[in-house]
Structure 1
Amino acid sequence: MIFRSKAPLRIGLAGGGTDVSPYSDLHGGAILNATLSLYANATIELLPENKIILHAMDRDEQEEYDWATSLPINGKLDLLKGVYNRIQKDYGIPEKGFRLSTFVDAPAGSGLGTSSTLVVAIIGAFTEMLKLPLGEYDMAHYAYDIERNDLKLAGGKQDQYAATFGGVNFMEFYGDDKVIVNPLRIRQEYLFELENNLLLYYTSTSRESAEIIKKQSKNVVDKKGSSIDAMHQLKEQAQQMKEALLKGKLAQIGEILDFGFQQKKQMAEGISNPLMEDIYTTAKAAGATGGKISGAGGGGFMIFYCPANTKYNVIKQLERFGGKHRHYQFVKHGLKTWTI
């Protein structure tokens, strides 16, 4: 039998970084994000031999082991191993050989939540195989716990919840890992217009988000005023974005994004760099009214709000940087699993 799953990647529209501890624990965080028609995919195929084969097809990496209740965390396909080890520990997986294959529609380190979304997809495939009693909040928190506590990877909380729930959500983050997901009922024509005007641009660079996030967290621990104030402003930005989308005030979105981008750069060193600044300036000169770096910063995807038909001129002007824009649609669904 074959067990499959897919979970959508996301773009953060406002509030990015306020979901990271210790800020969210001390002050509460708020983020507005939306899931896209780009996915992390996972497949488990049962094998006749007693082997465990792990295969990240998009990265052309494969590991093979004799069946065991725990696989070594050694820097090779650790996300796949981390999920297997935790589910084996908590629920038990029958001694049966299998191949776990994964594929992600965007590069690692691109700022669309690829790692966390992949963890959610892998959990989904095992949940489908083992019929585990996990609801949406359970699944998202489980993925977060595996990444942050088992694998010791620095990061926030939004990606796991976006991948699991799907759609456009206003998320609130509090101490003790409390998360509240508020789905937004946005009129379809507003979403179509946002989709039409919001350019998703890949800079053809990636980054290690964990290092930036560690700096951000340290700034909160050290009570660095400028960094904490910037996070307060980003939390307010999420409220502004929510109102603009719900009320159809789409002309304000570029300005809201621009405000957030300026605040985001105050959170930690390395969020922006000369290349990102040059791309941003060029996009605004070509007609974009605002934008941001997706994810923790330092590289990966950027988004730009391009009203009217300015998107096409922005695309043309950005050609000289060697990046490329990605076509997408907003999707309302989160994690999906099925059996063949």
Structure 2
Amino acid sequence: MMIVSRTPLRVSFFGGGTDYPEYFARARGAVLGMGIDQYVYVAALRLSTILDYRYRVSYSRMEQVTELDQIQHPVVREAIRLYGYDRPLDISIMADLPARSGLGSSSSFAVGFINLIFALQGRGATKMDLAREAVRIERDVLQENVGVQDQHHAAFGGLNRFDFEGGRTRISPIQMTAPCQDALNSSLFLVYTGMTRFASATLGEQMEKTKSGAADKDLSHLLALVDQAQTVLESNDPEAMLRDFGAMLHEGWETKKRLSSKVSNPHIDSLYAQARAAGALGGKLCGAGAGGFLLMLVPPERQAAFRAGMEGHSIIPIALDTVGATILKG
């Protein structure tokens, strides 16, 4: 029997950086973002014990090993160990968009693989369980330099605000009208920078500034934008909502660049300026920085000019995922 999990990638709009325990352990953290209609898929097939290998793991490389400790993929290895799954497995990992591109793919995979292991074990789990277990594996077991918003966006999907205070996480779905939600869904685009990166490698300077308090002013501003953005998104005028939201994205991007010298570079700055000149109201680089995708907000009436102005670049329209982490087959 094959089981397939599907987990959304995410875009974070505001509050990124305040979702690190190094920050919200001493101050309130909050983020606003959404799961998108681009996914990570993990398929698992129970293997016969007569084969001469116990685990086969297919992703950007192929692993075929006889012992758990021989698996090189860290999340696969440690999740199987942590949850005590003792059957041989053939595991295939697929995604709609490339990894290391700022869309939270590593956390989406962690959530999806945990969901799959629990399904194989016949074990029930809420979406909050999945998010917390993914945080546990990434931060506690693997000691990855990651925040905690990606796991929650991946597990829950939807357009949500997450507040982090000490050990408590509170979810608040954004209450949009249908016209405003339709306007947002039809106005979001990813523009590929042509560069991928490891998030942990770009975060050293930012984390030092976070721990020392040197980034507190900018992080407080990004936190304030979460409150403002929720009000804007929950308004009734789609045209005004897009205008104000686009301006806020631009403001947030200018603030985010001050968190670390590694967030942006001349190529990213030039591409972002080109996108705004072509008609985007605002945007930001997704994820930790240094590469991946730009998220740009372009109202429908500006999209023809935007596509013409961005000719030669990969442009991907995205919309809201409303399901979150799910099992497709069982």
1:287 to 264, 268, 279: 279
Matches within 5 A, 1:292-311: 292-311=284-303
Matches within 5 A, 1:130-209: 130-176=121-167, 178-209=168-199
Q: 1:251 to 1:150 in 2, by over 3 A?
A: same
Q: Deviations over 1:193-236 (max 9, x none)?
A: 11222222111211121122232121122221xx2211100001
Instruction: Tell me what 1:242 maps to.
Output: 230
Q: Is the 8 A contact 2:188 2:317 kept in 1?
A: no
Query: Is 2:198 the partner of 1:211?
Result: no
Q: Is the 8 A contact 1:4 1:128 kept in 2?
A: no
Instruction: Tell me what 1:47 maps to.
Output: 47
Q: Deviations over 1:19-44 (max 9, x none)?
A: 12311221121111111111111111
Query: Is 2:323 the partner of 1:333?
Result: yes
Q: Is the 8 A contact 2:44 2:92 kept in 1?
A: yes
Q: 1:312, CA displacement in angstroms? A: 2.8
Instruction: Tell me what 1:233 maps to.
Output: 221
Q: Is the 8 A contact 1:7 1:117 kept in 2?
A: yes
Q: 1:256, CA displacement in angstroms? A: 0.4
Q: If the length of structure 2 is used for normalisation, what is the TM-score?
A: 0.93
Report the secondary structure of 1:240's partner residue: helix
Q: 1:238 to 1:314 in 2, by over 3 A?
A: same
- Could you tell me how far apart the structure 1 residues matched to 2:97 and 2:20 are? 23
Query: Is 2:217 the partner of 1:222?
Result: no
- Could you tell me how far apart the structure 2 residues matched to 1:135 and 1:198 are? 29
- Could you tell me how far apart the structure 2 residues matched to 1:52 and 1:265 are? 46
Q: 1:265, CA displacement in angstroms? A: 0.7
Q: 1:72, CA displacement in angstroms? A: 4.3
- Could you tell me how far apart the structure 2 residues matched to 1:136 and 1:162 are? 10
Indicate the larger mover: 303-312 or 40-49: 303-312
Query: Is 2:311 the partner of 1:319?
Result: yes
Instruction: Tell me what 1:82 maps to.
Output: 78
Q: Is the 8 A contact 1:3 1:338 kept in 2?
A: yes
Count of aligned residue pairs for this structure pair: 324
Q: 1:338, CA displacement in angstroms? A: 4.3
Q: Which amino acid aligns with 2:69?
A: L
Matches within 5 A, 1:259-278: 259-278=251-270
Report the secondary structure of 2:80's partner residue: helix
Q: Deviations over 1:32-63 (max 9, x none)?
A: 11111111111110111363334334x2x111
Report the secondary structure of 1:23's partner residue: helix
Instruction: Tell me what 1:25 maps to.
Output: 25
Percent identical pairs in the alignment equals 27
1:56 to 58, 63, 79: 58
Q: Is the 8 A contact 2:189 2:318 kept in 1?
A: no
Q: If the length of structure 1 is used for normalisation, what is the TM-score?
A: 0.90
Q: Deviations over 1:141-172 (max 9, x none)?
A: 10011011111111110111111111000111
- Could you tell me how far apart the structure 2 residues matched to 1:331 and 1:338 are? 15
Q: Which amino acid aligns with 1:10?
A: R
Q: Deviations over 1:87-109 (max 9, x none)?
A: 12xxxx23x32111111222111
Instruction: Tell me what 1:115 maps to.
Output: 106
Report the secondary structure of 1:107's partner residue: coil
- Could you tell me how far apart the structure 2 residues matched to 1:54 and 1:115 are? 19
Q: Is the 8 A contact 2:157 2:323 kept in 1?
A: yes
Gaps of 5+ in 1: none
Report the secondary structure of 1:71's partner residue: helix
Indicate the larger mover: 113-122 or 124-133: 124-133
Instruction: Tell me what 2:11 maps to.
Output: 11
Shift >4 Å, 4+ stretches:
none
Q: Is the 8 A contact 2:188 2:318 kept in 1?
A: no
Q: 1:171 to 1:8 in 2, by over 3 A?
A: same
Q: Is the 8 A contact 1:53 1:62 kept in 2?
A: no
Q: 1:104 to 1:82 in 2, by over 3 A?
A: farther
Gaps of 5+ in 2: none
- Could you tell me how far apart the structure 2 residues matched to 1:52 and 1:154 are? 31
- Alignment RMSD (CA, Å): 1.7
- Could you tell me how far apart the structure 1 residues matched to 2:47 and 2:299 are? 52
Indicate the larger mover: 252-261 or 324-333: 324-333
